[in-house]
Amino acid sequence: MTQTTAERKTDTTAAGLGWAALRRRDNLVRFSVITALLLFTLFGLPQLLSLYYTDAMTQVAIYAIVALGLGMLVGRVGLYSLGQVAVLAIGAWAAARLLFATTQPFPVVVVEAGLVTMLLGTLIGLPALRLRGLYFALITLMLSGAITVVLATVNFPNGGRGFTGYDGALLHIPAIRRPSIAGTDAAYFRYAVVVAIIMFALVFAHIKTRPGRAWAAIRQSEPAALAAGINITFYKLWAFALASFITGVAGGLLASADRFLYSITFHPQDSITLLAVVLMGGVYSMYGAVIAALLNSLLPAALQDWGVSQDWLTILFGIGVLQVLTTAPAGIVDQFPKDMKKLGRLLWRLVRRPVTAAAPATPGAASASAAPSASGASRASRGGTT
C-alpha cells in the first residue's frame, strides 16, 4: 500500500517522463506495446505492403503529424483552426523552394521549412489570437482561403528561377529531391515514420511539462488561468507556434513524398475534412492523431483500390463530426474501447446465461424475485461477480 503511494508520488513528480514512470506495470506494458508496434511499422510493414499502400502509409505518417498539431490546438488549448492545410502548404512550399535552391542536407531543409512556417504562423497568430473561440476559427478559415488564393497564383516551385521558383514555360520539370538515404518509397516511408516519432515526442514533452499544464488551465477557463498567473497570450502563441512548426515539418516531408507539388493539392475543403477526422480520431489523446491520419489518408487510398467513390467517405466524415460532437466528444480513441468493452460484456452475459439459469441462484437474489427472468438472473450474476 505504502509502496503504491510512493510510486504514485514519484510518478507525479516525474510528470510521466523519465524511467520512474516505467516502473508502473501499466506504463511498462503500454511502452513495450508501442515500441513493438513502431518496430513492426518501421521494419515489417514496408516488406508486406505493395508500392501503392507504402505510398499511402507515407501519407499517413505525414498527416499524423498534421493531425497531431491540430489535435493539440483543439484538444489541449481549445483553439479550432480551420486553416491547417494552408499551413501545411506553406511548409511544403518553403521546403520545395529550399530543396531546389540549395544543396543542404534534407533534415536541415525540413527543420528550416518548419521554422519558416512557425515564423509565418506566429506572425498570423499574433493578431488572430486576440480573438477567441468562434472568431478565431473563422479568421483561420478566412486566412487559409487567402493563402490558397495566393498559392494558386504564385504556384509551387518547379525548378524555375527567381524568388517564387516557378517557371510556367519549363518543359522538363525536375522532381523534388529526397534524402540520399531514403531514395526508394519504402525507405522514404521509414524516414517519414522516424520524423513523425520525433514530432510526437516533441509534443509529448510539451504536454507533460509546464506548457501542457498551462494549456490545460487555459482550456478549462481563461479567467481562472489568468488569475493563476498564466500568461495566456504567450502560451497560446507557443501552442500555435509549435503546431505550425510540426505542420511545416510535415509539409517538408510531403514535398519530397509527392515529388511534384500543385496548388490544387491544398484545397480549403481539406482543412474541413482534416478537422473532421481529427475530431473523429479524438483530440484528447495522441493516439487520436494516428487514427485521424489513417482515416484521412489510408481509407481514401483503400477505397480507390476497391473502386468505391471517395464521396461516401466525405459523407461518412460529415456524419462522424455530428456524432462526435453530439454523443462522443473524445472520439474513436475513447469510444472504441468502451464499445468493445460493452460488446464483450454483452457476449459474456450471453455465454453465462445458460450456466446461471441452471445453477441455483444466491438466496438473496431468489427472494428478491419470485420468478427470475433471464435478464434478472444475469443481472444478479453480474452483481455477484463484481
Partner 1 sequence: MPSWSDFEPFIVSGLALGGVYALSGVGLVVLYRATGVLYLAFGAVGAMGALIAYSMIQAGTPGWVAWIACILFGGVLTLAYGMLFGPPLAGRDPLVKAVATLGLTLILFGVMDLLWSSSGGQARSITLPTDTGGFTVAQIQVTWTQVLSLGLGVLLTVGTGAFLQYTKLGTGMRAMANDRVITATLGVPVRRVEAAAWFGAGVLGGLAGLLLADLVALDATTLTFLVISSLAAALIARLRSIPVTFVAAIVIGLVHDLLTPITQLTDYRDMTPFVLAAIALLWVSRHGTVMTRSREEA
Q: Which residues bind partner 1 (CB under 8 A)?
A: 80, 127-128, 130-135, 137-139, 141-143, 145-146, 149-150, 152-153, 267-269, 272-273, 275-276, 279, 309-322, 325-326
Nearer to partner 1, 223 or 360 (CB): 223
* Closer residue to partner 1 in complex, CB, 225/361: 225
To partner 1, the closest distance from the beta carbon of 29 in angstroms equals 35
- DSSP-assigned letters across all residues of 24-57: SHHHHHHHHHHHHHHHIIIIIHHHHS-HHHHHHH
86/193 with CB nearer partner 1 = 86
Residues 6 or more apart from 25 whose CB is under 8 A from it? none
Residues 6+ apart with CB under 8 A from 112: 94, 95, 98, 104
Q: Which is nearer to partner 1, 52 or 312 (CB)?
A: 312
Residue matched to cell numbers 456524419: 319
Q: At its nearest, how many Å lie between partner 1 and the CB of residue 63?
A: 17
Give exposure, 237-250, as e/b (b: 16+ Cβ within 10 Å): bbbbbbbbbbbbbb
**Cα dist. 220→214, 335, 377 in Å?**
10, 22, 44
Q: Compare residues 277 and 361 and give the one whose CB is closer to partner 1.
A: 277
- Tell me which amino acid residue 289 is: A
Residue type, 68: L
Closest approach of Cβ 134 to partner 1, in Å? Answer: 5
C-alpha cell at position 92? 511544403
Nearer to partner 1, 208 or 267 (CB): 267
Least Cβ distance, residue 97 to partner 1 (angstroms): 20
| CA 239 – CA 73 distance, rounded (Å) | 7
Please say which residue, 132 or 342, places its beta carbon nearer to partner 1.
Answer: 132
Q: How far is the CB of 145 from partner 1 (least distance, A)?
A: 5
259: left (phi over 0), alpha (psi -120 to 50) or beta: left
To partner 1, the closest distance from the beta carbon of 100 in angstroms equals 23
Residue closer to partner 1, measured from CB, 158 or 256:
158
Q: Considering the complex, what minimum distance in angstroms separates the CB of residue 223 from partner 1?
A: 9
Angle at Cα 123 formed by Cα 75 and Cα 234, nearest 5°?
55
Least Å from the CB of residue 142 to partner 1: 4
41/273 with CB nearer partner 1: 273
Give CA separation, 84 vs 10, 80, 150, 246, 265, in Å: 38, 10, 16, 11, 13
Distance between CA 117 and CA 249 in Å, rounded?
A: 8
In the complex, the smallest distance separating the C-beta of residue 293 from partner 1, rounded to whole angstroms, is: 18
Smallest separation (angstroms) from partner 1 to the CB of 302: 17
Return the number of other C-beta atoms located less than 10 Å from residue 315's C-beta: 11
Q: Is the dihedral of CA 177, 182, 185, 190 positive or negative?
A: negative
Query: In degrees rounded to 5, what are phi and psi of residue 366?
Result: -65, -40
Of the two residues 20 and 316, which places its CB atom closer to partner 1 in the complex?
A: 316
